[in-house]
Amino acid sequence: MWEGMISGMMTGISTTLIPINIAMVLCGCFAGSLIGMLPGLGPITAVALMIPVTYGLEPTTGMVLLAGVYYGAIFGGSTSSILINAPGEAATVATALDGYPLARQGYPGKALAIAAYSSFSGGTIAVVLMMVFAPMLASVATSFQSADYFALMILGLTAVSAFAGRGGVLKALLMVVLGLMLATVGTDQTSGIQRFTFGSLELLDGIEFLLLAMATFALTEALMLILKRDASSDSLKPKMIGFKSLKVSLKEFKLITPSILRSSILGFFVGVLPGAGATLGSFMSYGMERNLAPPEEQKKFGKGSLRGLAAPETGNNAASTGSFVPLLTLGIPGSGTTAVMLGALIAYGIEPGPRMFVERPDVFWGVIMSMYLGNVFLLILNLPLIPYFARLLAIPRNLMVPIILFFSLMGVYLVTFNDFDILMMVFFCIAAMALRLMNFPMAPLLLGFILGGLMEDNLRRSLMIYDESMSFMWERPITLAINCTTLFIITLPLTRSILARFRR
Amino acid sequence: MAREKVGALIMLLFSVAYGVLSTQIPLSFLSHQETFTARTMPYALSVLGAFLSLAILISPTVDSSGKHSLAEETKGMDWSTAILLVVVMLVFGLTMKWFGFILASIFFLLVGFWILGERRKKRMLLTAIPLVLILWCIMSLLLGVYIAPGEIFYQLGIL
């Protein structure tokens, strides 16, 4: 196993150190930080906006760029959380709890520096863990058959819903089903029969994944900024005092180091769970640190605690890295953002899943090794640039929103050159806005849409192999084990509520 | 009515309509004999969608943010600006073929800035025109992607 890992690492290093890939890591981190910093725009939007750029690139280079954008956007989101208390997305909400009070106390530079060091440490430790666990999982998964894949996809889709939070499970599951429904539009790959095309030539190939991702995230986020008249985004003038002092003392480092180590491990394993993602990673790390802190330190949480800032920042970066494990080894995305990246992988013509580990080690190891480089770039290049990046927050909303809308529309148009796609994007954007206003989550929809085609193919294949019997769901021990896990996840909220009643 | 119930009701209607449309998926003679046809997955999804929608409708709303009504949730929202922007996006899509990438994009950005309250013409022009031209140059000159000029240029005899 270790020999395979070392040779894989070598492949990864030689792939990453190609000048174009180094440049892409740098561009990705830079662009991700810029986009992620804008309030309302999270990593999903950042990755979706950058996908059209990657279409002309090699799959490895494209994935390296998207991975850079992902953790760059997480880092960028922390910056807006700390400076103006406007988290770019849910994963950086916990960062704002202590980061913003710290900035208001006159230490924005210190808060940003701690966020940067924590992100770097969390990301780097998680990459080491990923190097150990991802090949192990991938080598087990190479024996998977269609039935196992089908069961895995059901598990992935269910897991996303299970982590949706109290009262959100059914809504998330419904959105998964809606995504699966949208995936059936177009020509059926096996029979060649048209489904739900309404005689339209434009729908023969189905709905473009990029179109749906842009419409449900980038366009919708930009329009929601307008709808909600977000006061924080009207005049995003960050406090520039104290930027010069990015120094963190040795005593402060000693204070946050144990938190960083604990949160890195916790964040990574939370991120590996399909569906959990960076949000849960950051909140769990924050909660763990608050519980572990001595009473005096506990009182500081929410008022500018250094541990309270370091823990969620480490946790969300470690979880972001961890979410690549199910994506690269099983082809099951661990979060909404990795779901978008899975769509990009499929668009490159790469079949995601354990075979990728064997057939495309350059992509597998290239992405992993590029994360090391990305973390270093984020620390040594972005940290000194933070004061300049922060000026972006001062760009007026009345210029920024039309530009975001324009780039979202062009991101799709310049790939397909079809005006009908622009109209379809507007339609999906309106539908997505309506669903969001009715409190339905969008990430499960995208996940269902991306996995829909693969799931139907694997189900069909399994039925053919097992002579049209559903026994494939339990005949192989591995399929049975995956299905039992799915059942456990589905019944978890119910079990929890029953247990809570008993306790009462 | 709680907003998530409204959503569930819409999704229930959508699932039923999707199920009805699934029955109209054409099948070849041979595929009628198969267990898994092009209709199987849509049927299953339609039933699952209807079941989940009903479950949301029937079960009590646990999520506190989902308890608000749609009217409460959307109160004070800037609908007029959002609707205007949606209309401009539609116009952008419809006119792209006629005016071409450069003209339609500059027009879209300028109108977008204006809708959002920007009135400084110099600032609007200095943002929109270079942005579109730079993007056009990157695509056409650097990446060699052919972007068709608008029909209007052929109609006017310019090209």
Reported as a single tens digit per residue, the pLDDT across A248-277 is 888 888 989 999 999 999 989 888 876 666
User: Residue B66: closest CA among chain A residues belongs to which residue?
Assistant: A439
Q: Tell me the pLDDT tens digit for each residue of B25-37.
A: 988 777 777 888 8
List of chain A residues whose C-beta atoms are within 8 Å of the C-beta of residue B7: 171, 434-435, 438-440
pLDDT number for residue A177: 95
pLDDT number for residue A235: 44
List of chain A residues whose C-beta atoms are within 8 Å of the C-beta of residue B65: 439
Chain A with chain B: Cβ pairs closer than 8 A: 182
Neighbouring C-beta atoms of residue A241, cutoff 10 Å: 12
Give B44 or A290, the one with higher predicted confidence. B44
For the cut 80, the answer to whether the pLDDT of residue B2 exceeds it is yes
User: Residue A56: closest CA among chain B residues belongs to which residue?
Assistant: B143
CB contact under 8 A, B118 and A399: yes
Using the Cβ of A465 and the Cβ atoms of chain B, whether some distance falls under 8 Å is answered with: no
Residue ranges in chain A modelled with pLDDT below 50? 231, 233-236, 241
pLDDT number for residue A293: 84
CB contact under 8 A, A193 and B81: no
- The Cα–Cα gap between A443 and A161 comes to 10
List of chain B residues whose C-beta atoms are within 8 Å of the C-beta of residue A195: 22, 25, 38, 42
Task: Kindly calculate the radius of gyration of chain B based on its CA atoms and give it in whole angstroms.
Answer: 25
Token reading at A224: 């929601």
User: Residue B30: closest CA among chain A residues belongs to which residue?
Assistant: A191
Q: Which of B25, B74, B96 sits opposite A195 (nearest CB)?
A: B25
Q: Which residues contact A51 (CB under 8 A, 6 or more apart)?
A: A66, A210, A213, A340, A343, A344, A347, A411
Secondary structure (3-state) at A195: strand
Using the Cβ of A501 and the Cβ atoms of chain B, whether some distance falls under 8 Å is answered with: no
- The Cα–Cα gap between A291 and B84 comes to 49
pLDDT number for residue A10: 83
Question: In chain A, which among 263-322 make CB contacts under 8 A with chain B?
Answer: none
- Decide if B70 contacts A407 (C-beta within 8 A): no
pLDDT number for residue A398: 86
Alpha helices in A383-442 (DSSP H): 383-390, 397-416, 419-437
Interface with chain B: mutation pick from A49, A171, A177, A185, highest number of B CBs within 10 Å: A177
List of chain A residues whose C-beta atoms are within 8 Å of the C-beta of residue B113: 398-399, 402
List of chain A residues whose C-beta atoms are within 8 Å of the C-beta of residue B66: 167, 171, 439
- The Cα–Cα gap between A188 and A206 comes to 9
Q: Tell me the pLDDT tens digit for each residue of A350-397.
A: 877 777 777 888 888 888 888 888 888 888 876 777 777 767 667 788
**C-alpha closest to that of A97 among A239, A300, A319:** A300
Helix and strand counts by DSSP (H, E) for chain B: 6, 0
- The Cα–Cα gap between A32 and A43 comes to 7
**C-alpha closest to that of A338 among A439, A446, A441:** A446
List of chain A residues whose C-beta atoms are within 8 Å of the C-beta of residue B21: 196
Neighbouring C-beta atoms of residue A491, cutoff 10 Å: 12
Does the CA dihedral B63-B64-B65-B66 come out positive or negative?
positive
Q: How far is B68 from chain A (nearest CA, A)?
A: 9
- The Cα–Cα gap between A58 and A56 comes to 7
- The Cα–Cα gap between A142 and A149 comes to 11
List of chain A residues whose C-beta atoms are within 8 Å of the C-beta of residue B139: 414
* Mean pLDDT (whole number) for B41-66: 88
Using the Cβ of A66 and the Cβ atoms of chain B, whether some distance falls under 8 Å is answered with: no
pLDDT bin (cut points 50, 70, 90) of residue B148 is confident
As a dihedral over the C-alpha atoms of residue A220, residue A224, residue A227, residue A230, rounded to 10 degrees, the angle is: -160
Using the Cβ of A249 and the Cβ atoms of chain B, whether some distance falls under 8 Å is answered with: no
CB contact under 8 A, B112 and A397: no
